[in-house]
Chains A and B, each alone.
Chain A
């Protein structure tokens, strides 16, 4: 028996008040995973006719808009930086010379050059806002967009609905949550985290399959005996963590028995030239894995390009240790992104997946227009560029613009909330719905007055 209760009755938009969010009988009998169940009881809020997937590339560290996608070659030298723009395959759109392969696929994505936020200029706030659409306040943790999708639509088949590659964002200095979990939706909707490095020569999903010395009969027997031994001691019914433990076991068994999931993670089945095309590094191989996961039925893949900004070369080019130098955009980070992103777009398009898979790439903020004394740039949430394409999102356009020095939006400012609204619309989710928030209080999916970016849809 399995029950998840709301602390108080919650009124759903179908007018019914439910004391219990869900009431699942023996899940094995029903043959359902928890998330399947949620999918069935979905709030009537999704358009199942056209499933759209999403890949979110989190460019941890915060790329400088002036050195990547919003070049200002005519600005003074202390603003424009060391890099030059190059043309792309879309007339009128130019990006940094460090992205030559991406420049050949500008028709597959659009640039939003006027993204900004008004919260504190630390990494964590940007992570929260770009992944959940909201800033966390008052102890409330909003869910990642991929987790919302998991709750509303459930998984497709045996694979998880939302996968996080390769590892969660770690220490970026702010001591705040990063918005990479399901928050008040409950840990049952957290993404499946890979926790391994796909570029590792011995890469495999940790412990996905039973060892040779355990027969399938024994694996099954153990599963049944565990449920037998673990009769709900009544204390555990009120413990969310205890119920979550059962949920994780159930999801683990589902994953194990999924041929599709196993196959998707077998990166060594990819031809070597393909692996090299993406780049034989953690980010490149994560992008390749993302493509495979989408093919296997995963709905949402989040890829963290880096896990920390300390003592590692990332987009966070303050110019002095333990952060990165501006030259790394040419030497390491730029090429790493260029190879992986271009390959991903190319391959998705070739396989007919791009038309129903949104691909987004964004950092948590932009960087200061004026180069600092250390030769780098500092945090600048006032204006930056993000990339969006695939699915119903148009390619080859530019939304919004910044001023002469990319310090502030000039036209069409875009907030993280609007970006999230755009993603939800692209995923086919009704923007009017409410999610069950903390203590049972309904939270609108999108705040009143927040509109998706019309210009990105045809």
Chain B
């Protein structure tokens, strides 16, 4: 019996489903576009155009040849799709098919005007409107827009007596000249919506209107064939329970046009391999559909089977690679792993001795042990203190020395004791008192006004850039202007006054003070972005509400953001990229992985060190950066390690380490490493040239790792590296004094700079070059100088090579 079934099974599994999986039509104007989504083997296909559609009861609902369902009478019907020999059907419920119906200003007219572009920033949605006609940007305030349309310019814009003579019909249909051109035709649905609304007496938006609660997109995710086309359907759900197909009025865009492009009607074309998020915006709600095309590779299951899995990171990355037909590269060798681990965790190179010991170590768990040792090091603390100082903008630019040190020391202490990240944030937002005693409070010395605080806090801890919402609803996100000012009002009562000593301030909660919404000219109840409002007259420190919401269990964004930052440090690219752009329209490249890491982080006490250990112990972290035949162009899905230039401070410190000549920083004790500096204002041509951030704004893009001609010139001609090489107490001078052979010196330099032994051919070639550079005759001194210079030049060549400057 089983054998028979096996023989009867089709060679390529095929399946047909209808999306959405069930439909509800409410009112005579309701429509629902259906999609016939087929599965052919391992990918989906949009079969809608090749489908025969039929309704079980045309008296309830009809369906046309394009799959569009219309209501006919109340009740239930089944819509069937037949394509490629397969069949599927769904239930459609119709309600109020013959009920009196009026288009709603809030839920129909505004979306029409938004989709047609009437209220976009370039036209009537501009701050000053256009040609005397001003609408709110993308319709964020229907009440205001209604008044503008019906009260101002009475009878002209909206003419109740003669609807088709209304300006808002004449102009966009180009019946009369319109600066914005023809936006819709006279026989379009859009025209009809506005005309019928006016004819019905132009009813206003009211608080009783159904409010949009959320969106759904179909398909929400799909794996498609190269060059495939896919129609998307978007459905809105409302507070009164009804649903509407709003596809026609959605604003679509693609996160990666190289992979997929989408037109104004939600029709997607796949252009390349990889994954793209097609984001959609409707009525200040955002959502996205994830569509992907696997790479054109044939990969045996074995390639995935034999990959060593250490933890859930490996499982989830492999799942993604499998779905995209990319095979992971091999695991990096010991030398590569060691150098990478030291640099990523502590910003230092292993010493030549540490390298030799590690390479000679035969124990099977030596990598995990190396990770543990790194977590214990002082340099580990320095590195992460530096990183969080970038985040919190520690510098002497706006903080005096005492304040800056207090702030930095608090950060460093927090890293040292592995303070849980929620506790770290709470210490900033829940404390009051002396900034000297609690360094965290210098945050309020840096950010003095509520607008600044609101924007900075959300950027640093939530990866949200809410600035746009200061003037209008955020065009890319779901934040409204109202939410912006509710949020800002959380910080309206932070007081900072001078303390007892210079550089000491006292942070306290004031008993009054509010931020006014600019148009409403009144304060709004302080409310964290997605959270619960606090009454305006509550005497409690409002920051408490913010802190509770920020670090509360329900706030996944708080954890996602820090998880993403830490991940990006080790993997070279955040799961969300840019690393601090966590908006809803910028999805993660592996959502399942980010969600799992976040869950693990929250469930284990917001422990950053633990997260670091988990990442470093995964096989994915330990992958080689060498491409195989299938993943040459992958720099998103972690199938191979991403090569990236080291940061400015790490390079400078590494050069100091190899040459044995520390950098002198003005005002700091000799031997201070760049990564130990609390201040990005410390003068250093090298650091500025190589992209050290100014710490003026909380933006990961402030730090640059792009190579430039200026950097090349600096290491060729500048003093920084040159002086280190010739330092009289440096490594080269020391080795010459000790009389070490060129071979031995080279080996040391390789171990120190590259964390590996030179190959035989490298030994041959480089020692030969050094020999040639030496003088065969001349004074003792001249010969010594020539020898020293040759070594300096050789080490220079090593320290400016890609292998040194890059983490690979």
Contact = CB atoms under 8 A, between A and B. Distances in A.
Given A211-B722, A225-B769, A236 B802 contact: yes
A447 B808 CA distance: 40
Interface string A232-246: 011110110110111
B496 to A, nearest CB: 19
A16 interface: no
B258 interface: yes
A55 B255 CA distance: 35
Given A235-B625, A439-B258, A228 B717 contact: no
5 tightest A-B CB contacts, nearest first:
A118-B122, A439-B258, A252-B712, A225-B797, A138-B257
Contacts of B794: 225, 229
A204 to B, nearest CB: 11
A381 B130 CA distance: 12
B96 to A, nearest CB: 40
Interface string A120-135: 1100000000000000
A12 interface: no
Which of B254, B625, B726, B805 neighbours the largest number of chain A CB atoms within 10 Å of its CB?
Answer: B625
Contacts of A171: 696-697
A229 B766 contact: yes
Contacts of B126: 121, 382
B560 interface: no
Interface stretch (A72-80, A214-222, A422-430): A214-222
A193 B708 contact: yes
24 contacts: A117-B122, A120-B475, A138-B255, A173-B467, A175-B467, A207-B713, A207-B717, A218-B789, A221-B793, A222-B796, A225-B797, A229-B766, A229-B798, A236-B643, A238-B643, A241-B705, A241-B706, A242-B806, A244-B707, A248-B711, A249-B716, A249-B800, A380-B128, A408-B131
Interface in A427-441: 438-439, 441
Contacts of A140: 257-258
A137 interface: yes
B806 A175 contact: no
Interface in B233-256: 253-256
A206 interface: yes
Contacts of A233: 802-803, 808
A332 interface: no
Given A221-B793, A228-B766, A378-B127, A238 B627 contact: yes
B713 A119 contact: no
Which of A117, A230, A235, A249 neighbours the largest number of chain B CB atoms within 10 Å of its CB?
Answer: A235
A328 interface: no
Given A192-B709, A236-B802, A245-B707, A218 B793 contact: yes
A2 interface: no
A206 B713 contact: yes
Nearest to A311: B696
Interface in A175-210: 175, 187, 190, 192-193, 195, 205-210
Contacts of B769: 225, 228
Contacts of A160: 709
Contacts of B633: 7, 238
Contacts of A253: 716
Contacts of A211: 717, 719, 722
Contacts of B22: none
Which of A213, A226, A438 neighbours the largest number of chain B CB atoms within 10 Å of its CB?
Answer: A226
A90 interface: no
A137 B708 contact: no
B143 interface: no
B361 interface: no
A46 interface: no
B709 A251 contact: yes
Interface in A1-28: 7-8
Contacts of B57: none
A324 interface: no
A222 B773 CA distance: 11
B710 A206 contact: yes
Contacts of A246: 802
A256 B717 contact: yes
Q: What band does the interface of chain B fall in when counting residues whose beta carbon is under 8 Å from A?
A: 35 or more
Given A171-B696, A236-B808, A255 B713 contact: yes
A352 interface: no
A139 interface: yes
B793 A222 contact: yes
A368 interface: yes
Interface residues of A, number: 68
B406 interface: no
Contact of B256 (A138, A225, A228, A234): A138
Contacts of B685: 206
A407 to B, nearest CB: 8
B624 interface: yes
A245 B802 contact: yes
Contacts of A187: 706-707
Contacts of B707: 187, 241, 244-245, 247-248
Which of A119, A207, A214 neighbours the largest number of chain B CB atoms within 10 Å of its CB?
Answer: A207
Contacts of B122: 117-119, 381
Given A7-B633, A211-B719, A248-B711, 7 more contacts: A118-B122, A121-B121, A138-B257, A219-B716, A236-B643, A236-B806, A439-B271
Contact of B712 (A7, A218, A249): A249
B230 to A, nearest CB: 17
A252 B718 CA distance: 12
Nearest to A247: B707
Nearest to B254: A138
B436 interface: no
B395 to A, nearest CB: 15
Contacts of B773: 221
B123 interface: yes
Contacts of B256: 138-139
B797 A226 contact: yes
A253 B128 CA distance: 53
A190 B625 CA distance: 26
A415 to B, nearest CB: 11
Contacts of A255: 709, 713
A228 B765 contact: yes
A244 B481 CA distance: 43
B339 interface: no
A256 B716 contact: yes
Given A228-B769, A248-B711, A255-B709, A210 B800 contact: no
Interface string B737-778: 000000000000000000000000000011001000100000
A242 B255 contact: no
A117 B699 CA distance: 27
Given A230-B797, A236-B808, A251-B712, A241 B643 contact: yes
B271 A441 contact: yes
Given A225-B797, A236-B643, A241-B643, A441 B258 contact: yes
Contacts of B254: 138
Interface in B474-504: 475
